[in-house]
Amino acid sequence: MKNLYFLLFILSCTSTELSSGFDNDIRIKSDTIEFLEKNNQINFLDNVEINSDFVNIRAESAVYDDIKDMISILGKPSTIKSSKKNTSFNGKAEKIMFFNDEKIHLIGDASIKYENISISSNIIIFNPRTGKISSE
């Protein structure tokens, strides 16, 4: 019964806040939210906005996986930008993986501009806290 109330609550909301395992609160808004109890996942569909202390992400859909403690974000493309005043970056990719340590993977036709540096690659790994970037 408790799960039913939680499911009804999630489905009636258009935004939620995640803090499980993530170093900072993450706020997610979307037009539709689906709770998949068997998979320990929450799906966010249509007009997804993800905000944390370090990043703002816009996408078509996102999945929060409680077991892996990560958010998978999809779009054509999904966009990401800094939410901190003293750090300047923005980028895009077909898929963004947002991990609980706030390390971010941009995957598929990925590009990022960090301060005065522009990088394009199939995979870009980025830590918005430290500014460390690598690509494959």
Q: How far is CA 107 from the centre of its chain?
A: 13
Task: For residue range 79-127, list pLDDT tens digits in order.
Answer: 999 877 777 889 999 999 988 776 899 999 999 998 888 999 999 998 8
How far apart, in whole angstroms, are the C-alpha atoms of residue 82 and residue 112?
Answer: 11
Both tokens assigned to 133: 């970037």
- pLDDT tier at 9 (50, 70, 90 boundaries)? very low
**CATH architecture observed for domain 2-135:** Sandwich (2.60)
Element (H, E) at 10: helix 2-12
Q: What is the pLDDT of residue 1?
A: 38
- Residue 78 in this model has a pLDDT that exceeds 60: yes
Q: What is the pLDDT of residue 7?
A: 43
How far apart, in whole angstroms, are the C-alpha atoms of residue 79 and residue 58?
Answer: 5
What are the CA-CA distances from residue 105 to residues 3, 33, 52, 72, 111 (Å)? Answer: 32, 23, 16, 10, 11
- Residue 130 in this model has a pLDDT that exceeds 90: no
How far apart, in whole angstroms, are the C-alpha atoms of residue 129 and residue 114?
Answer: 12
Task: For residue range 11-53, list pLDDT tens digits in order.
Answer: 444 455 444 445 567 889 999 999 888 888 999 999 999 988 8
Angle among Cα 125, 128, 129 to the nearest 5 degrees reads 125
The reported pTM is: 0.78
Q: How many CA atoms lie within 13 A of 55 on its CB side?
A: 32
Domain-wise residue ranges, the chain: 2-135
Both tokens assigned to 67: 């077991």
Task: For residue 90, give the DSSP letter.
Answer: E
